[in-house]
Amino acid sequence: MGEKPIGRRVALGVIGAGLTGIVFGSHVQDAMERILGPITARDGTGLSSLFPVGRFRIYSVVGRLPHRSEAEYRLHVGGAVRTPLTLTMADLRAFPPLRLTKDFQCVTGWRVHDVKWTGVRLSDVLDRAGLDEETAGGVVFRSFDGAYTETLTLAQARRDDVMVAYELEGKPLSSAHGGPARLYVGPMYGYKSCKWLEAIDVARGTPAPGYWEVRGYDVDGWVGRSNGRDDPAV
Amino acid sequence: MAVTTRPSDALDEGRVARFDRVERMLHWTTAAMFGVLMFTGAVLYVGSLSALVGRRELVRVVHVWTGLLLPIPLIIALVGPWRRALGDDVRRLNRWDDDDRRWMRSLGRDPFARPAKFNAGQKLNAAFVAGAAVVMLATGSVMHWFARFPDDWRTGATFVHDWTAIGLFVAITGHVGKALADPVALRGMIRGWVPAWWARANRPRWVQEPDVRADEG
């Protein structure tokens, strides 16, 4: 009859390919992005965005996608500052713009290469408000989703690759991506980059940890050097 | 392949037992869990659905726990003395003979490729889904307990999890589509038996197996 255990071979083949993919998949993904990137960029249907090549995942911790129009949008800066501020989108755009092109890396694994951000350096905003150096111990970021918070140390907040971003790939930041304005912390995992940014509170003393930090993530979320690892960033 | 004219009920002389109660319970609990996994997975993955449903933490917890529990019904079905029919069917699904290869080459159109209890398409689907489920469990574990793994592995695991999910979506959609296209076969998984005329027409070598008898009643 020539009976063969093909079923077992197929199943083991699928498992073998999958486990190999854990180790080498990031290289395959990079290659696919180089090949498919130009094609998906021209795809008008948006269908190609369903394929796992160089795409953002839209994370929201609340039961809806928070939305605020650019006209309604206000960014409050308060706490241990000399001059509390309420900034409109026009105010944000009046700051000297900062442009950064960096990979966006989620702590769970997905990564989008060479994302172009435009915004204003966070340190410029903090300088405008003027920190109360005596008491300021950290910075708290609040989202207008009503639930999400994030924190940075003062030194982290003053880095040149930390910004309040209002453009992604040259276009105004959409609600899905955290618009009209969000925090973008270049050297850290995505969860540090608080979306739908509504308030920047300079804390007196060390601030309480943010949303995911309470749920086990590292407060200092350096890419490649936190959340269980100490190897260099990739 | 399938018979085009159904014999009248007068000629419908018997039933053939196809799946026992254990197999059917295993099938439908696993199917329900796959449904939950596919829905929550889609919510976590498709941006517009994520935006619509939100509550990422809740959806994530449901997805992870359903995934971790997925093997439990199978394990329960395999450990007890009730495993005989399931074990026999796993063996049937594993082994491919010349008719299966012939069936696969012609994609079921060759009338001389006579299936036994399962045709080669069912065997391939079973093997792929079994392997893919293990891959999803492994890659999902890397994504969930990410702190133990380097960034490159997390990215690789996400990549494999996403593509395997697309493969599973295609396989399961095909499986459900095939079942809906052949309601007699589908009722075999609901009631546990198929009419003898269906078995003779669609699974001719199955009814010839020594311990498979049409219950002439």
Range of the domain at A24: 6-50
Residue-wise pLDDT tens digits, B98-121: 999 999 999 888 888 889 999 999
User: In chain B, which residue's Cα lies nearest the Cα of A48?
Assistant: B46
Give the gap in angstroms from C-alpha A124 to the nearest C-alpha of chain B: 32
- pLDDT at position B175 is 96
Cα distance between residue B11 and residue B130, in whole Å: 39
Q: Answer yes or no: are the C-beta atoms of B155 and A113 closer than 8 Å.
A: no
Q: Would you state the pLDDT for residue A44?
A: 56
pLDDT tens digits, A32-89? 777 766 665 555 555 556 666 656 777 777 766 788 999 999 999 999 999 999 999 9
Q: Is A32 exposed, middle or buried (0-12, 13-18, 19+ CB in 10 A)?
A: middle
Same domain, A40 and A87: no
Superfamily of domain B10-207: Transmembrane di-heme cytochromes, Chain C (1.20.950.20)
Cα separation, B5 vs A154, whole angstroms:
79
Q: Note the pLDDT tens digit of each residue in B143-155.
A: 899 888 887 888 8
* B153 neighbourhood in chain A, CB within 8 Å: 22-23, 26, 109
Inter-chain contact B96–A4, Cβ cutoff 8 Å?
yes
Q: Which residues of B99-108 are buried (b: 16+ CB within 10 A; e: fewer)?
A: bbeebbeeeb
| Tally of domains within chain A | 2
Helix axes B183-191, B151-181, angle to 10 degrees: 110
Which positions of chain A have pLDDT values less than 70? 1, 36-55, 63-64, 229-234
Chains A and B: how many Cβ contacts under 8 Å? 178
Q: What is the pLDDT of chain B when averaged over all its residues?
A: 88
Do A180 and A85 belong together in one domain? yes
CA-nearest of B14, B90, B91, B155 to A224 is B155
* B67 within 8 A of B52, measured Cβ to Cβ: no
A29, closest residue in chain B (CA to CA): B159
Mean pLDDT of B178-201: 94
d(CA B96, CA A7): 7
Local confidence band at B189 (pLDDT 50, 70, 90 cut-offs): very high
pLDDT at B154: 84
- A44 and A152 in one domain? no
pLDDT at B12 over 70: no
The residue whose two tokens read 């392997």 is B131
pLDDT for residue A55: 65
Q: Quick one: pLDDT at residue A74?
A: 96
B27 pLDDT above the threshold of 90? yes
Answer yes or no: do A109 and A194 share one domain: yes
Instruction: Name chain B contacts of A26, Cβ cutoff 8 Å.
Output: 152-153, 155-156, 159
A197 and A89 Cβ atoms separated by less than 8 Å: no
As to burial, measured by CB atoms within 10 angstroms (0-12 exposed, 13-18 middle, 19+ buried), residue B189 is middle
Residue A55 lies in a domain: no
Contacts of B45 in chain A (CB under 8 A): 57
H or E element that contains B201: helix B196-202
DSSP A204: E
* Structure confidence at residue A141 (pLDDT): 96
Residue A220 lies in a domain: no
Same domain, A120 and A80: yes
A191 in a structural domain = yes
* Domain boundaries, given as residue ranges, for chain B: 10-207
Task: Give the mean model confidence (pLDDT) for residues B11-24.
Answer: 86
Smallest Cβ–Cβ distance between A227 and the set B55, B146, B166 belongs to B146
Q: Is the pLDDT of residue B39 over 60?
A: yes
**Mean model confidence pLDDT for chain A:** 87
Which stretches within chain A are classed as H helix?
A: 6-42, 89-94, 122-129, 154-157, 211-214
Residue B17 pairs with which residues in a beta bridge? B193
Give B-chain residues touching A225 at CB under 8 angstroms. none
Q: Looking at the structure, tell me whether residues A86 and A190 fall in a common domain.
A: yes
For residues A34 and A144, state if they share a domain. no
Q: pTM for this one?
A: 0.73
The pLDDT value recorded for residue B1 is 46
User: What integer pLDDT is reported at residue A202 of this predicted model?
Assistant: 95
* A190 interaction partners in chain B (CB closer than 8 Å): none
What is d(CA A211, CA B35) in angstroms, rounded to the nearest whole number? Answer: 30
Q: Residue A127 maps to which CATH number? A: 3.90.420.10
Q: State ipTM.
A: 0.85
Q: Report the C-alpha gap between A213 and A86 in whole angstroms.
A: 28
Q: For residue B33, report the phi and psi dihedrals to the nearest 5 degrees.
A: -65, -40
Q: What is the pLDDT of residue A39?
A: 63
pLDDT for the residue numbered A73: 95
- pLDDT band for position B3 (cuts 50, 70, 90): very low
What CA–CA distance (Å, rounded) separates A45 from A37?
15
Q: Residue B33's CB: how many other CB atoms inside 10 A?
A: 17
Q: Would the CB atoms of B47 and A56 count as touching at under 8 Å? A: yes
Per-residue pLDDT at B161: 94
Length of chain A: 234
Residues A12 and A98 in one domain: no
Indicate whether A56 belongs to any domain: no
Query: Is the peptide bond between A187 and the residue preceding it cis, with omega within 30 degrees of 0?
Result: no
Q: Which residue of chain A is at minimal alpha-carbon distance from B125?
A: A7
Q: What is the pLDDT of residue B217?
A: 42
Residue A172 counted as domain residue: yes
* pLDDT of B10 higher than 80: no
Nearest-10 Cα torsion for A25, A31, A32, A33: 110
Q: Which of A3, A4, A6 to mutate to test the interface with B (most CBs of B within 10 A)?
A: A6
Alpha-carbon gap, residue B18 to B72, rounded angstroms: 23
CA distance B149 to chain A (A): 7
With respect to residue A233, please indicate whether it lies within any of the assigned structural domains: no
Q: Which helix (H) or strand (E) holds B153?
A: helix B151-181
CA-based Rg of chain A, rounded to a whole angstrom? 21
DSSP at B215: B
The structure tokens listed for B28 are: 């439908």
